Structure 1
Amino acid sequence: MSQIKVLLVGGLPHLPLDERVQFATSLTEKIKYQFGSGYEHFVHQGDYATVDGEELPVFRWTARTAIAE
Structure 2
Amino acid sequence: LLLARAKDAEQAGAVGAQTGGRVGFFLHTEDFAADHARMRAAGVRFLEEPRHEAYGSVAVFEDLYGNRWDLLQPAG
Structure 1 length normalisation: TM-score? 0.29
Which has a greater percent of helix?
A: 2
Which has a greater percent of strand?
A: 1
Structure 2 length normalisation: TM-score? 0.28
Q: Work out which of the two has the higher radius of gyration on C-alpha atoms and give 1 or 2.
A: 2
